[in-house]
Amino acid sequence: MDSPLAAREEGLPTVIDGETPDAGVIEAALRPAGAERDCCGGCRAASIIDPLLHLRHAHREQRDLCERLEAIADSLPYPDAAECRQLAHDVEEALDRHHRLEDEILFPLLRRRLGAQSPLQGSIDRLMVEHIEDRDHAAEAAENLMRLADGCKRCEVDAIAFQLRGFFEAMQRHLAFEDEVILPKAEALLTNEEMAQLLADFRQASKRCADADMPARTLRPVG
């Protein structure tokens, strides 16, 4: 990889002064003052001016959730009960926090820079609708996962597997569009000042999470 921009396009930490910050350094930069950890999964170093890496990391975490959902679907009718219970918690939490960063912070800023006639305005409308649908599907998946974790004897495992697969396949398509179209467009359009504001807004969102006493998520390192 030849440049910091290429690194960002791959969703990897940018090299600063010959060194790539590790996940702990990146996470700490978005941590609000007084908080043990950024509860929205903050992962952007203060010395890196492009906060979009935060969203790329979150997308990677969501792809990991998709892989875990697929593994559960493949394991039916003999799923890992502990994994079902943990995944039921993880999937709803991850989507809710991440969607708020996009719907309330990134998308309004990007809309202003795109202009009213841009075809991407319609794409953003569609993504926001898909966020609502994904959260509904996540709630349904979480309910099904808890039923499996509790050893439900009357569960229709084929129907549950179908629901899980439909959910994670739709989420994978959604993430691919954001990574291939939305984030590169944001990177191309937003100024350094807007990037700095985006980073500040992400930090503020993290502080709101901390003030609400929401439990922190563990940041998984990018591989």
Under 8 Å CB-to-CB from 22, ≥6 apart: which residues?
Answer: 13, 221
Q: Coil, strand or helix: which one is 25? A: helix
Q: Coil, strand or helix: which one is 157? A: helix
Give the dihedral of Cα atoms 138, 184, 113, 116; nearest 10 deg: -70
106-126 per-position pLDDT tens digit: 999 999 999 999 999 999 999
Cα angle 104, 108, 113 (rounded to 5 degrees) comes to 155
As a whole number of angstroms, the distance between CA 148 and CA 70 comes to 14
Most distant CA pair in the chain, distance:
59
User: Residue written as tokens 């991850």?
Assistant: 94
19-49 per-position pLDDT tens digit: 433 444 334 444 444 333 333 333 333 334 4
Query: DSSP assignment, residue 114?
Result: H
115-171 per-position pLDDT tens digit: 999 999 999 999 999 999 999 999 999 999 999 999 987 789 999 999 999 999 999
Query: DSSP assignment, residue 13?
Result: P
Tokens encoding 88: 């039921």
As a whole number of angstroms, the distance between CA 115 and CA 72 comes to 43
Superfamily assignment of 4-211 in CATH? nmb1532 protein domain like (1.20.120.520)
pLDDT over 70 at 194, yes or no = yes
As a whole number of angstroms, the distance between CA 53 and CA 59 comes to 10
Please state whether the predicted TM-score (pTM) of the whole model is above 0.75: no
As a whole number of angstroms, the distance between CA 165 and CA 89 comes to 18
As a whole number of angstroms, the distance between CA 93 and CA 209 comes to 12
Closest of 213, 77, 69, 63 to residue 141, by C-alpha: 69
Q: What average pLDDT does this structure show over 7-25?
A: 40
Share of residues in the chain with pLDDT > 70 (%): 71
Give the dihedral of Cα atoms 220, 37, 40, 46; nearest 10 deg: -90
User: Residue written as tokens 């509860």?
Assistant: 39
Q: Which amino acid is at 16?
A: I
Domain extent listing, the chain: 4-211
61-110 per-position pLDDT tens digit: 999 999 999 999 999 999 999 999 999 999 998 898 899 999 999 999 99
